[in-house]
Amino acid sequence: MTPTSRRLLLSAPFAIAAVGGVGFYTALNRQRTGAYNPRGVPSALIGQAPPDFTLPALPESGVEPFGSADLRGIGRPVLVNFWASWCVPCIIEHPQLMRLSREGVPVFGIAYKDKAADSLQFIRRHGNPFNRLAQDIPGRVAIDWGVFGVPETYLLDAQGIIRWRYAGPITDEVLEQDLRILLRRYA
């Protein structure tokens, strides 16, 4: 073995450790920004703008509909919540959405595969937390977003980039331990 190749060989452990260190550092950083969560369900859309869409309003609700254009550059973090009147966990998470809405956090709702009359009855009975409300009866937009099922919530930052996705009801715990921290971080 020549001295040069021997020296290269002896430096290999250092090089491997350095590469590993950079890898771990990146992993930790992405964990801090919420792009990587070892316990969460991943989303391909994290770190990206939402897919293009326009959706109609929920008739007689009196709430403006929204499309992807309306999510761009609101200047503050916004929640996009997929829900349906036929979904029981949506009733569980509803008080938390109401609370957030009262605190002034913009919550945009998409009624997913739901009859307009049923959706309407749901928000009349339980209250309307949604600043904007659209309906996605065929469920196409939900497919573009990669929605697993309702309820499912996305957090977009001030620039309209998706930062967090939660599949399942936003319980009190999720709200306190995850969502509030994220809202503060992206405020």
Partner 1 sequence: MIAELGHFALALAMILALAQSILPLLGAEMRNGRMMATGAPLALGQCLAIATAFGCLMYSYAINDTTVVNVVQNSHSAKPMLYKITGTWGNHEGSLVLWIMILGICGAAVSAFGRELPTALRARVLGVLGLISLGFLAFTIKTSNPFERVWPPALDGQGLNPILQDIGLALHPPLLYLGYVGYAVTFAFAIAALIEGRVDAAWGRWVRPWSLAAWSFLTMGIALGSWWAYYELGWGGYWFWDPVENASLLPWLIGTALLHSAIVVEKREALKTWTILLAIIAFGMSLLGTFLVRSGVLNSVHSFANDPERGLFILGLLMFYLAGAFLLFAFRARAMIPTGVFAPVSREGAIVLNNLLICSITAVVFVGTLWPLFADALFGSKVSVGPPFFNAASFPLVVPLLLAMAAGPLMPWKRAQLVPVVMKLWWVAVIGFATFFVALLASGQQVLPAVGFAFAAWVVGAAFADIADRTALFRTSLGNAWSRAKGLPRAAWGAAIAHAGIGITAAGIAGMGLAQERLVSLAAGESTTLAGYEWRLDSVRDEVGPNWTARRAYITVLRDGRELRVMTPARRFFPVARMHTTEVAIHTNLMADLYAVIGEEEAATGRAVVRVHYNLLAPWIWIGAAIMALGAALSLADRRVRVSAPNRAAIRAAPTTRPA
User: Would you tell me which residues interact with partner 1 (CB under 8 A)?
Assistant: 6-7, 10-11, 13-14, 17-18, 21, 23-32, 35-36, 38-39, 42, 44, 46
In the complex with partner 1, which residue's Cβ is closer, 41 or 69? 41
In the complex with partner 1, which residue's Cβ is closer, 57 or 167? 167
What is the C-alpha separation between 184 and 187, in angstroms, rounded?
5
In the complex with partner 1, which residue's Cβ is closer, 36 or 86? 36
In angstroms, what is the minimal distance from the CB of 31 to partner 1? 5
Instruction: Name the residue among 16, 34, 19 with its Cα closest to residue 179.
Output: 34
In the complex with partner 1, which residue's Cβ is closer, 14 or 75? 14
In angstroms, what is the minimal distance from the CB of 160 to partner 1? 19
In angstroms, what is the minimal distance from the CB of 56 to partner 1? 33
79 forms bridges with which residues in the sheet?
107, 155
In angstroms, what is the minimal distance from the CB of 10 to partner 1? 5
What is the C-alpha separation between 84 and 109, in angstroms, rounded?
10
Q: For the chain, where are the E strands, in sequence order? A: 78-83, 107-112, 132-136, 152-156, 162-167
| Rama region for 152: left / alpha / beta (φ>0; ψ in -120 to 50; rest) | beta
